[in-house]
Structure 1
Amino acid sequence: MPERPYHAPKGGLPPQTRLLTGRAVFTEAYAVIPGGCLSDIVASLLPFWEGARFWVLARPMSGFAETFSQYLAEIAPGGGSDRPETEPGAQAVLFVLEGEMRLYLGGKAHDLAPGGYAYIPPGSDWRLRNMGEAPLRFHWFRKRYVPVEGLDAPSPVVLNEREIAPVEMPDTGGVWATTRFVDPDDLRHDMHVTIVTFQPGGVIPFEETHVMEHGLYVLEGKAVYRLNRDWVEVEAGDFMWLRAFCPQACYAGGPGPFRYLLYKDVNRHMPLALGPCA
């Protein structure tokens, strides 16, 4: 399979001559963070990381998306962390956009190139380094694992998307396909990160309205995306953040494929708040 492009931010700061009106929006149901918003002045630093900065694309917020956080990380050559996660019970997914990552997970070293995926179970001993001569850029998804009595925690997974055949969605003629890194029937997992691909002209043919929260990062191409009441143009480098039940659909614009990295929470009961006794 040929290598695919993955859009990654380069930071910097727009010139003083640029108009301020852009495409960024935050509503009660969704948010859009265009790639151009990921400038130097909105990057974050984190404890126990060296030569690293992070753009926080999503974080739990009361009344909005509440299950996950998503970072876009940039690590300088030689940089990384021997203590990347400080919150007990957190699981992670890493997806490499650019550069060379060496991931140490469970006592084993794994080298990840662009397209590389790693699922890191809760409680894992892991660390990573940029082993190349150029910046390493990757997505880092974090979610507190929800254990279920009688189900073990998932095992580690390290793959590259080039090793996986996309699954065509039924009755679409191949214009809509999903690359799945873990078995969707494996109920040990309480989150999925996949790659969704639309060929030019492909559509989600109805307004999906469902309980899963979403983070969508556009890896390649452009489309018009339906978000709640609005049609929004998006392109490579843009991020969309959807709360549960936000209506959604899309139309891939071409001239090439439209592809995005998708997070969703899955396979768990909805927690019920305890109300007053009758």
Structure 2
Amino acid sequence: MRDIVISYLPFWEKTRLWVLSRPLSGFSETFSQYIMEVSPGGGSEKPEADPGAESVLFVVEGELILTLEGATHQMSSGGYAFIPPGSSWQVRNNASSAVRFHWIRKAYEYVDGIEVPNAFVTNEQDIEPIEMPDTNGSWATTRFVDQSDMRHDMHVNIVTFQPGGAIPFAETHVMEHGLYVLEGKAVYLLNKDWVEVEAGDYMWLRAFCPQACYAGGPGQFRYLLYKDVNRHMKLSGLGRC
């Protein structure tokens, strides 16, 4: 988050961004994630150049005006928007201070016979976290879409650990992950290394990376989590004539 590594985008005014992840051959290939910083009076009338891209916006600071398919939404800290591919949308900062938000983009994977999911705008405060079984509430996930909804090919959730909460075993997942720490401190297992992480840190995991977590406190530990879901694994044409 230094000035020397900022980027800019076409058709975005008074806006800079930091690229946290992007598709890289041999690593994570399904998504990109930016932290956007829009100054007062800034924004975009043409934010997305790829008609096949779906997006999630998540506000971490300030206020953002999102116009989505003609409807206007005022988003503040904790605000969350899902934007389907091919949508008409614009963003503007009409406040007196900068707004910062995550922008997660993925090429939507269409499936014959399954509709594209609908757009929606909400706030994390309006969604009840779901406690993980047998954790006494020390580990919970705020889920913005139904896990069984096959229309969605990615989930962007918020995971929360109370002090002392843990993932008590090394998990491995077929999904690629982007984890941005929103609050608190913890130690996180990545492959074979336990790494201290805190608010503002970002973890970028390829598929099958072993992971675990221990949140030692003193406050809660929360992160924004991306993962790809609900689709066949691409075979890249291997074995086909």
Displacement after TM superposition at 1:276 (Å): 4.7
Which has a greater percent of strand? 2
CA–CA distance in structure 1, aligned partners of residues 70 and 124 of structure 2: 23
Q: Render the CA deviation track for 1:49-93: whole Å, top value 9, x for unaligned.
A: 000000000000000000000000000001000000001200000
The structure 2 residue matched to 1:224, chosen from 168, 187, 203, is 187
Q: What's the offset of the Cα at 1:275?
A: 2.9
Q: Which residues in structure 2 correspond to 1:1-278 (within 5 Å)?
A: 38-276=1-239
Quote the offset at 1:184 in angstroms.
1.0
Distance 1:57 1:222 in 2: 19
Structure 2: how far apart are the matches of 1:274 and 1:237? 39
Higher relative contact order (CA closer than 8 Å, sequence separation 6+): 1
**Cross-structure match for 1:31:** none
Q: Deviations over 1:114-138 (max 9, x none)?
A: 0000000000000100121110000
Alignment correspondent of 1:4? none
* Amino acid aligned to 2:219: G
Q: Secondary structure at the match of 1:262?
A: strand
Q: 1:233 to 1:47 in 2, by over 3 A?
A: same
Partner Cα distance (2:158, 2:46) in 1: 28
- Segments of 5+ residues of structure 1 without an aligned counterpart are 1-37
Q: Would you say how many aligned residue pairs link Structure 1 and Structure 2?
A: 241
For 1:274 and 1:189, locate their aligned partners in 2 and report how far apart those are by CA, in whole Å: 24
Normalised by the length of structure 1, the TM-score is 0.85
Computed over aligned residues only, the root mean square deviation of the Cα atoms, in angstroms, reads 0.9
Question: Deviation above 3 Å: which 4+ runs of structure 1?
Answer: none
Quote the Cα distance in structure 2 between the aligned partners of 1:134 and 1:148.
42
Cα distance per residue 1:172-230 (max 9 Å; x no partner): 10000000111111110000000000000100011110100000000000000000011
What is the identity, as a one-letter code, of the residue corresponding to 2:138?
V
Query: For the residues of structure 1 that align with 2:52 and 2:147, how far apart are their CA atoms?
Result: 22
Task: State how far apart, in whole Å, the 2-side matches of 1:277 and 1:257 are.
Answer: 50
Give ranges in structure 2 of 5+ residues lacking alignment: none
- The 2-side partners of 1:194 and 1:132 are apart by 27
- Normalised TM-score (structure 2): 0.98
1:104-153 Cα distance to aligned partner (Å, 9 max, x none): 00110011010000000000000100121110000000000000011000
- Give, in whole Å, the separation in 2 of the partners of 1:83 and 1:257: 38
Q: How far apart are residue 156 of structure 1 and its match?
A: 0.4
Alpha-carbon distance between aligned partners in 1 of 2:69 and 2:146, rounded to the nearest angstrom: 21
Percent identical pairs in the alignment equals 68
Amino acid at match of 2:56: V
C-alpha distance in 2 between matches for 1:60 and 1:115: 26
